[in-house]
């Protein structure tokens, strides 16, 4: 309660001088009237301290000069009404002169102290506002990744905190040279003044452009307290932004180097293996001692290795387009059922595919060619690890999603590998023991094409119990027409 009263009495703003004079006169009249009954109890000279209380309250509320005026008026009223002889401005007893002089000095000191307290309160309020402003500017300039995008909000917050005319802006680059050239030496000299902002090393950062010249006291606060904080925060924010850009560029270069290294590794091994097999088979085909069966076998090997090489090149090209952002989909309403049919027809698997697709499956809006490439890679992966077991393909609509599941009965994937198998050039361990660990491209292409079409893909597996790859595609307001009739389960040789 006491602190609230002190804050009210020493508030930053004060009433008008006319109100203060009226309040002082009223305080003198009331105090003079209160002293009359007290004279029956205590000597008249001792009642002067009551005037001192009125002077202190008036000086605290209305300022030094109103307080001094109230002190003089109180002394005159005290002399006229209560110090003998009353009714005249004379003092008969020398002791009363001393009491009156002490009263005037005490009143003046009380008024001065009240004004000092008010000034300190005003300064404390200003300092608190400036501290709040600095904290808000730090949040705006350091809280985001784009400093320039935060400048309008920072300028608006600064304008409100300092009671400046609306329209102030914080400008970088071009304004820095103009503001630091010495052209604007005083804010009050310009219709649209600029205040230069400098970094810690003295180099120009920019300028604070005001809509109109501020008052003299605001000009001083801007130059001495606000601008240094703004310069420090702006310099830190720009340095941090530059460091972030350098980190991003370094990470991009590092990823590029990793990609180049992995690509060279793939070229040196995965491309060389089919080329070597083709070259060897081609040389053997020229031998006159070959039987027709051996010649057919070598020709089949050449064809198979060429197809393997073609698929690897296709994956490399797909991944390159995805990495370079050149694989933008061309969406249209497509039947996932038909896309799966094409992918199955293009994927050889001795044990075949067991297909179960819900009838009247909704259409999805996607790039059919990209989905076909993604499903073909998933089917090829499942066929490789499924061994002698057929690969199950399931598709159904669930709410606003279309779920496609491709299930193999292979050795499965360890939990720590479930996410990594989608990384480019990541090769899972040789769990089958046949020496083939894949190129590390197919599943990365799958994720790229599925996510490009607004979907997502993930793997579910337990070691020794096979793997399920799930593709989720969003459903929209598709046309009324449906895809082809659902595929019936197929057996080996599909």
pLDDT at 32: 82
What is the layout of strands, in order, in the sheet containing 401-408?
A: 353-357, 391-398, 401-408, 467-474, 456-461
Q: Has this prediction a pTM greater than 0.75?
A: no
Look up the domain containing 403 and give its range: 333-474
pLDDT score of 470: 94
Residues 445 and 468 in one domain: yes
pLDDT at 309 over 60: yes
pLDDT band, very low/low/confident/very high, at 86 (cuts 50, 70, 90):
confident
CATH number of the domain within which 310 lies: 1.10.287.130
Position 142 scores a pLDDT of 80
Domain boundary pick from 74, 91, 124: 124
Question: Within its chain, how far is the Cα of 22 from the centroid?
Answer: 56
> Is the pLDDT reported for residue 467 higher than 70?
yes
Which residue, among 155, 148, 66, has the nearest Cα to 108 in the 3D structure?
A: 66
**Average pLDDT of the segment spanning 293-303:** 82
Q: Which of 304, 323, 342 lies at the terminal end of a domain, its last residue?
A: 323
Considering the domain architecture, whether residues 342 and 319 belong to the same structural domain is answered as no
pLDDT of residue 391: 92
Q: Average the pLDDT over 90-96 and give the result.
A: 60
**178 pLDDT band (50/70/90 cuts)?**
very low
Q: In terms of pLDDT, which residue wins out, 436 or 162? A: 162
Asked whether residue 319 falls in the same domain as residue 366, the answer is no
Angle at 257 between CA 251 and CA 262, to 5 degrees: 125
Which position has the higher pLDDT, 9 or 425?
Answer: 425
Which of 124, 150, 183 is the last residue before a domain boundary?
Answer: 124
Asked if residue 317 and residue 358 are part of one domain, the reply reads no
Position 185 confidence tier, pLDDT thresholds 50, 70, 90: very low
Residues 6 or more apart in contact with residue 189 via CB below 8 angstroms: 213
For residues 301 and 415, state if they share a domain.
no
More confident call, 164 vs 448? 448
Q: Is residue 96 part of a domain?
A: yes
What's the total number of domains in the chain? Answer: 3
- pLDDT reading at 17 higher than 50: yes
Cα–Cα distance for residue pair 52/36, rounded to 1 Å:
16
Chain length of the chain? 494
Which of 334 and 130 is assigned the larger pLDDT?
Answer: 334
Q: Strands, E, within 140-186: which ranges?
A: 169-172
376-422 per-position pLDDT tens digit: 989 988 888 887 889 999 999 998 899 999 999 888 888 778 888 88
Is residue 8, in this structure, part of any structural domain at all? yes
Shared-domain flag, residues 315 and 340? no
205, part of any domain: no
- Pair (61, 7) in one structural domain: yes
Q: Please indicate, yes or no, whether residues 448 and 340 belong to a single structural domain of this protein.
A: yes
Is residue 410 assigned to a domain?
Answer: yes
Residue 245 inside a domain? The answer is: no
- Of the spans 50-59, 93-102, 177-186, 370-379, which averages the highest pLDDT? 370-379
409 and 281 within one domain = no
The average confidence (pLDDT) of the chain is: 76
Say what percent of the chain tops pLDDT 70: 75
Give the pLDDT band of residue 342 (cuts 50, 70, 90).
very high
What CA–CA distance (Å, rounded) separates 108 from 114?
10
Residue with token string 């038909």: 338
* Residue 463, domain CATH: 3.30.565.10
pLDDT for 89 equals 66
pLDDT of residue 4: 44
pLDDT confidence bin for 182, thresholds 50/70/90: very low
Task: Determine the average pLDDT of the residues in 425-447.
Answer: 66
| Within a domain: 185 | no
- 3 state SS of 461: strand
Would residue 382 count as lying in a domain? Answer: yes
Is 268 part of any domain?
A: yes
- Band the pLDDT of 189: cuts 50, 70, 90: very low
Residues paired with residue 394 on neighbouring β-strands, in sequence order = 356, 405
Give the residue with greater pLDDT, 265 vs 7: 265
Whether residues 319 and 354 fall in one domain = no
pLDDT of amino acid 256? 64
Domain identity same for 380 and 439 = yes
Same domain, 291 and 384: no
Q: Are 44 and 81 in contact (CB under 8 A)?
A: no
- Give me the mean pLDDT over the 140-151 stretch: 80
- CA–CA separation, 424 and 403 (whole Å): 24
């Amino acid at each position: 309660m006491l602190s609230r009263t002190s804050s009210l009495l020493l508030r930053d703003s004060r009433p008008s001088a006319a109100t203060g004079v009226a309040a002082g006169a009223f305080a003198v009249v009331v105090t003079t009237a209160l002293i009359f009954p007290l004279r029956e109890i205590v000597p008249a000279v001792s009642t002067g301290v009551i005037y001192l209380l009125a002077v202190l309250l008036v000086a605290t509320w209305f300022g030094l000069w109103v307080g001094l005026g109230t002190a003089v008026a109180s002394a005159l009223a005290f002399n006229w009404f209560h110090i003998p002889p009353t009714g005249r401005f004379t003092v008969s007893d020398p002791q009363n002169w001393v009491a009156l002089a002490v009263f005037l000095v005490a009143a003046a000191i009380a008024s001065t102290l009240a004004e000092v307290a008010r000034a300190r309160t005003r300064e404390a309020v200003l300092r608190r506002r400036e501290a709040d402003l600095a904290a808000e500017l730090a949040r705006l300039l350091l809280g985001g990744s784009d400093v320039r995008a935060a400048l309008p909000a920072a300028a608006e917050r600064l304008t409100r905190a300092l009671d400046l005319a609306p329209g102030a802006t914080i400008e970088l680059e071009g304004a820095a040279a103009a503001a630091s050239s010495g052209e604007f030496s005083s804010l009050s000299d310009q219709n649209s003044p600029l205040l230069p902002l400098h970094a810690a090393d003295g180099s120009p950062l920019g300028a604070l452009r005001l809509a109109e010249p501020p008052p003299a006291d605001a000009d001083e606060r801007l130059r001495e307290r606000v601008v240094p904080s703004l310069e420090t925060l702006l310099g830190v924010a720009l340095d941090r932004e530059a460091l972030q850009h350098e980190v991003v560029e370094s990470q991009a270069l590092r990823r590029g180097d990793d990609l180049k290294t992995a690509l060279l590794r793939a070229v040196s091994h995965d491309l060389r293996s089919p080329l070597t097999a083709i070259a060897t088979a081609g040389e053997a085909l020229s031998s006159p001692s070959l039987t027709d069966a051996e010649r057919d076998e070598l020709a089949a090997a050449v064809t198979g290795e060429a197809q393997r090489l073609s698929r690897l090149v296709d994956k490399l090209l797909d991944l390159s387009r995805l990495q370079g952002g050149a694989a933008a989909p061309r969406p249209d309403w497509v039947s996932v059922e038909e896309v799966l049919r094409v992918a199955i027809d293009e994927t050889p698997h001795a044990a075949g595919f067991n297909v179960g697709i819900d009838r009247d499956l909704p259409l999805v809006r996607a790039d059919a060619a990209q989905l076909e490439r993604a499903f073909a890679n998933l089917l090829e992966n499942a066929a490789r690890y499924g061994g002698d077991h057929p690969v199950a393909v399931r598709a159904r609509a669930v709410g606003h999603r279309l779920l496609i599941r491709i299930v193999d009965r292979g050795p499965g994937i360890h939990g720590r590998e479930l996410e990594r198998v989608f990384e480019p050039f990541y090769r899972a361990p040789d769990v089958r023991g046949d020496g083939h660990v894949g190129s590390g491209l197919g599943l990365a292409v799958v994720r790229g094409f599925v996510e490009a079409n607004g979907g997502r893909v993930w793997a579910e597996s337990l070691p020794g119990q096979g793997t399920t790859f799930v593709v989720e595609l969003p459903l929209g307001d598709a046309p009324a027409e449906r895809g082809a009739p659902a595929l019936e389960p197929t057996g080996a040789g599909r």
